[in-house]
Structure 1
């Protein structure tokens, strides 16, 4: 089995490699290829990856290359984890929206739209090259904004599934609170990428006992504190648990005030990345450093292994929370909308599990953001100031014409080098 990681020079890659090494019985990789144009970073990360494999007794080869076509040639699965524009572009995404009183964040709102506009054309080019190399290869997208990028891939006819670590993070957290193993936790997970709610927490599988009421009764305050939301809000939401991204919607103005008074997450990550690269250069280092846990993307490696194993017909849990076509799962959305739900996954792809009737409190917001994502994808594919403006007008974190107009100008000014039409 050959697996390729595009964006393999990321400082986060050792987390992924550690998962591949530990879970080699689930996903027996014979060749792992790390592709990245940043040669210096790639060699540092690749060297550590080889040492991790060696220490854990993994017999697979680790290959590094800046050549995308060579890297994806013959790959059974290709993982995408790239960041067009690097941390410098992320820094901009997190700052200029604040000038207009809007959330500065890299995956949602105006900053998320900027990232989508930079990213979609690049990802589609990569996907076409993957298809030419091996039309049966699966593309697993971890590149944000995952929902929009996955929709672009699926609409272009690629064998693609989107992946996010929010659900697996909740699974691990809930298992710890309940004193059970993560494999015993099955989530009824509903919504769009970075706009989800856990509507049930089941023991043992899709038909298992729903212990969410017990979880909230015994640990509601702890969960709310982790989400930085008032405990009473969880009750008012009907006894569900929102993802931490919902705080951008439920406490927008509060978050804007916070973001204006502290260093950006991008600046923190950039400093962390510099330190990690220095550590990766140490030939004695043969495991992922503890600092990497603060980098973000917790448990991504385990989610990636489970998903790749299911898609490639290896062992593993058939139930995965993924981003895929709606196909009638949520009847209030178009069939070609991309949703994030629990699905049964196999070599033919994901099949979303049935979802009970959705509370209008959640359905309204999901429908609103789905409309934004459709317009965002149109802007990413066709370009133009008016299309950018329409997408921002549709986003509930922007909405007002005065804000949308000013944000459109800022978005184009800060991203001109990445926008072929600008």
Structure 2
């Protein structure tokens, strides 16, 4: 089995390598190729990756390359975890929207649209190279904004599934609070990528006892604190929203907060500098503790589970993924990409049925899906007017003057990545 990781020079990668090493019985990798245009980072990350495999007695071979075509040749699956423009672009995404009084964040709002515009054309080019190399290869997308990127891949006819670590993070957190094995925890996880709610937490499987009320009664304060939300929000909803819902439920508070401290991008950039220095130490043969603060917790385990199910029989039969709606949420088009529990196997992902949603959630999902339609159109065809319409449609923006100002700023800060500009 051969896997390729495009964006393999990311500081995330040792988290992925650690999972591949520990879970080799689930996903028996014979060859792993790390692909990245940044040769200097790739050398550091690749060296640590080989040492992690060696320490854990993994027999697989790890190679590195800056050539996408060479890296994906004959791969059975390709994981995408790239960041077009690097942390510098993320820094801009998190700052210029604040000038208009809007949230600056890399996956939602105006910053999320900028990332989509930069990313979709690059990902589609990589996907075409994968298809030419092996039309049967699966593409697993971890590149944000996952929902929009996965939809672009699926609409172009690629064998693709989107992946996010939010659901597995909740699963592990709830398992700790309940003092049970994570495999016993099943989530009623519904929504779009980075716009989801845990409507139930069931023990033993999809039809198990819903212990969410007990979790909220006994651990509501801790759960709300992890979400950085007022506990009143969680108690009033009676469900657990993704922490990204904070940008919607407390927008003005978040904007004020972001204006008074360094951006997350600046924090991550400093962390990455420290991590890369660690990766260059030939004595280091495990992922450092600092990596846990970088983000992406449990990403490796979710990726192993998904790849194992798509390529064989080693993964869990039901997983939370991003895939076509296909009537699961009846108020959305079939080709919308949703994030829900799905049955996963060699033929891909098929969403499981979900109960009728409260209009409180369905309305926001429909609104953001409409924005994602317009965002993908702008990413594929370009043009100032398409960007403006996407921004005007986004529920975190929604005002003419805001959309006008943000459109000009987005284009000015991303001109080098917009072929039509």
TM-score by length of 2: 0.99
Q: How does 1:17-96 map to 2 (within 5 A)?
A: 17-96=17-96
User: Residue in 1 aligned with 2:375?
Assistant: 376
Separation (CA, whole Å) in 2 of partners of 1:281 and 1:183: 36
User: Residue in 2 aligned with 1:149?
Assistant: 149
The answer as to whether partners of 1:27 and 1:314 remain within 8 angstroms in 2 is: no
Q: 1:95 Cα deviation (Å)?
A: 0.1
Separation (CA, whole Å) in 2 of partners of 1:204 and 1:120: 38
Partner of 1:355: helix, strand, or coil? coil
After superposition, what is the alpha-carbon deviation per residue over 1:20-72, rounded to whole angstroms, capped at 9, x for unaligned? Answer: 00000000000000000111100100000000000000000001011110100
In the alignment, is residue 255 of structure 1 matched against residue 254 of structure 2? yes
User: Residue in 2 aligned with 1:335?
Assistant: 334
Q: How does 1:261-280 map to 2 (within 5 A)?
A: 261-280=260-279
Separation (CA, whole Å) in 2 of partners of 1:129 and 1:201: 40
Q: 1:317 Cα deviation (Å)?
A: 1.1
In the alignment, is residue 212 of structure 1 matched against residue 212 of structure 2? yes
Q: How does 1:1-400 map to 2 (within 5 A)?
A: 1-237=1-237, 239-400=238-399
Separation (CA, whole Å) in 1 of partners of 2:234 and 2:253: 18
The answer as to whether partners of 1:94 and 1:111 remain within 8 angstroms in 2 is: yes
After superposition, what is the alpha-carbon deviation per residue over 1:367-406, rounded to whole angstroms, capped at 9, x for unaligned? Answer: 0000000000000000000000000000000000000000
Q: 1:226 Cα deviation (Å)?
A: 1.1
Partner of 1:183: helix, strand, or coil? helix
Q: 1:315 Cα deviation (Å)?
A: 1.1
After superposition, what is the alpha-carbon deviation per residue over 1:265-298, rounded to whole angstroms, capped at 9, x for unaligned? Answer: 0000000101111100000000000000000110
Q: 1:359 Cα deviation (Å)?
A: 0.3
After superposition, what is the alpha-carbon deviation per residue over 1:292-323, rounded to whole angstroms, capped at 9, x for unaligned? Answer: 00001100000000000011113121111000
Q: 1:236 Cα deviation (Å)?
A: 1.7
Separation (CA, whole Å) in 1 of partners of 2:75 and 2:391: 38
Separation (CA, whole Å) in 2 of partners of 1:108 and 1:230: 21
Separation (CA, whole Å) in 2 of partners of 1:268 and 1:131: 37
After superposition, what is the alpha-carbon deviation per residue over 1:63-94, rounded to whole angstroms, capped at 9, x for unaligned? Answer: 10111101001000000000000000000000
Separation (CA, whole Å) in 1 of partners of 2:66 and 2:236: 51
The answer as to whether partners of 2:382 and 2:420 remain within 8 angstroms in 1 is: yes
What's the RMSD between the two structures over aligned residues?
0.5
TM-score by length of 1: 0.99
The answer as to whether partners of 1:74 and 1:133 remain within 8 angstroms in 2 is: yes
Separation (CA, whole Å) in 1 of partners of 2:314 and 2:149: 27
Structure 2, unaligned runs of 5 or more:
none
User: Residue in 1 aligned with 2:417?
Assistant: 418
Separation (CA, whole Å) in 1 of partners of 2:333 and 2:117: 22
Query: Please, which moves more after superposition, 175-184 or 314-323?
Result: 314-323
After superposition, what is the alpha-carbon deviation per residue over 1:325-384, rounded to whole angstroms, capped at 9, x for unaligned? Answer: 000000000000000000010000011010000000000000000000000000000000
After superposition, what is the alpha-carbon deviation per residue over 1:146-188, rounded to whole angstroms, capped at 9, x for unaligned? Answer: 0000000000000000000000000000000000011111101
The answer as to whether partners of 1:189 and 1:198 remain within 8 angstroms in 2 is: yes
Separation (CA, whole Å) in 2 of partners of 1:333 and 1:316: 29
Separation (CA, whole Å) in 2 of partners of 1:88 and 1:204: 44
Separation (CA, whole Å) in 2 of partners of 1:407 and 1:173: 37
Separation (CA, whole Å) in 2 of partners of 1:364 and 1:170: 24
